[in-house]
A and B are shown apart, each in its own frame.
Chain A
Amino acid sequence: MSESVSAAIVWVVLVALTLMGYWVGQNGLSGTDAVTILLGAALIKGQLVIGYFMEMRHAKTRWRYVPTIWLTLVLLVMAFNY
């Protein structure tokens, strides 16, 4: 699979997850289930951007983990507070 094709697929997934989140919001869903879905979606979306768009997948250094660690930490703290 060429890089361009995988980027396009990532884009489709990102938009789909966004629309799903929007649907959750529009239907006033709340509570643990909604929070899990939204944070889970944010984690996936974030990781896709980090891995595929920022190309951290191909980076050959431990620095590449910094954005992932950031994302996980922030989302964890948020999960804890909800």
Chain B
Amino acid sequence: MTQTIKKILPGDFAIWIFIYAELLVFGIFFISYAVTRSNNIELFNESQLLLDRTAGMANTVVLITSSWFVVNAVHAIKAGKEALCARWLSGAILLGGLFVMIKLFEFYSKSVEGITLSTNAFYMFYLSLTFFHFLHVILGMVILSVVLFNTRKGSYNGEEYTGVETAASYWHMVDLVWIVLFPLVYLLR
């Protein structure tokens, strides 16, 4: 990375532009959901009851834990402990995989019940929001995997760990979005 650009946020500054853009998209989506709901309160309340809250809660805990693992990975590499960093990253990715599986199970159950994007406004938002977020979890896992691969290769050390922080920042964004999404879609009524 260029030395001429000051370090102002953890990781590469470019990822933060990307993160802010993602927050913007999700933010607009969330607000659209809230506004649409206020015009269809009964429909939304009714349909929301059919969601799998336990799966949603499990996914929240999984993602929060995964984020915490990533925090520990960054601490490890800052202390020059590359192997430990790699272990925390692997754990985070595995938890990401668990999120994916729980989510796929949720999507599968809904599809078996015949629910699609066109079923009603609530389900359109539920499926769009969670699927869109799901794609970001997958992208986050890919980014973490690349960084894990690099860590094992010895690309980072106690002084140079921008790549790890960059990936970590992105993953935390994915977590942050879910922290808003879960209560909004699954719980708020």
Contacts and interface: CB of A to CB of B under 8 A. Distances in A.
Contact of A74 (B30, B67, B168, B173): B30
A26 B61 CA distance: 16
Contact of B176 (A3, A39, A46, A81): A46
Contact of A26 (B24, B53, B67, B70): B53
A8 interface: yes
Range of interface residues on chain A? Answer: 35 or more
A21 B187 contact: yes
Contacts of B68: 7-8, 10-11, 14, 53
A52 B23 CA distance: 18
Nearest to B78: A3
Interface in B132-189: 168-169, 172-173, 175-176, 179-180, 182-184, 186-189
A15 B172 contact: no
A78 B30 contact: yes
A26 to B, nearest CB: 6
A30 B180 contact: no
Given A46-B176, A53-B67, A55-B10, A77 B31 contact: yes
Contacts of A67: 19, 23, 176
B112 interface: no
Interface in A26-82: 26, 30, 34-35, 38-39, 41-42, 45-46, 49-50, 52-56, 59-61, 63-64, 66-67, 70-71, 73-75, 77-78, 80-82
A63 B9 contact: yes
A54 B34 contact: no
B101 interface: no
Contact of A75 (B9, B16, B180, B182): B180
Nearest to A77: B31
Interface of B: 8-10, 16, 19-20, 23-24, 27, 30-31, 34-35, 37-38, 45, 53-54, 57, 60-61, 64-65, 67-68, 70-72, 75, 168-169, 172-173, 175-176, 179-180, 182-184, 186-189
Interface of A: 3-4, 7-8, 10-11, 14-15, 18-19, 21-22, 24-26, 30, 34-35, 38-39, 41-42, 45-46, 49-50, 52-56, 59-61, 63-64, 66-67, 70-71, 73-75, 77-78, 80-82
10 contacts: A7-B71, A10-B68, A22-B57, A42-B184, A46-B176, A46-B180, A59-B10, A78-B188, A81-B38, A82-B34
The 6 closest A-B pairs by CB, nearest first: A25-B187, A22-B57, A81-B34, A11-B68, A30-B189, A61-B8
